[in-house]
Amino acid sequence: MYLSTVFLSEIENGVENAITKCNEEFLRRFGTIQDYISDSIITDFSGETFLVDSRCDEVMALWDVFKDFKDEIFIDLPVIKAMDTTRTVRDEMRGVKRMFH
């Protein structure tokens, strides 16, 4: 199931529960955060990012539904790190410097 769909289907049980369910699905499908980054964000020999794949699109779709609730979460989960990392990479690829998380 798409991560944003998991989040929206679980939100009635609380934000922490919804993002925890997303985290479980993320880990089941993508492995660890290190696996996700190495498999979905490709860099060249100089360290410049040049390709992100559809998994990044899915993580960004989750961000679109999660971002309004992020201040309610005080747990550290791999799926949250994946959203932060993907946003940073996308912004860098676009030449945008992020000032806030």
**DSSP conformation class of 45:** T
Query: Do 14 and 2 form a contact (C-beta atoms < 8 A)?
Result: no
- The answer to whether the predicted template modeling score (pTM) of the entire model surpasses 0.95 is no
Quick one: pLDDT at residue 100?
A: 40
The pLDDT value recorded for residue 9 is: 98
pLDDT in tens, the chain (101 residues): 899 999 999 999 999 999 999 999 999 999 998 888 888 877 777 766 666 788 899 999 999 999 999 999 999 999 999 999 999 888 877 775 444 43
Contact 2, 61 (CB under 8 A): yes
* pLDDT, tens digit, 9 for 90 and up, residues 16-44: 999 999 999 999 999 998 888 888 877 77
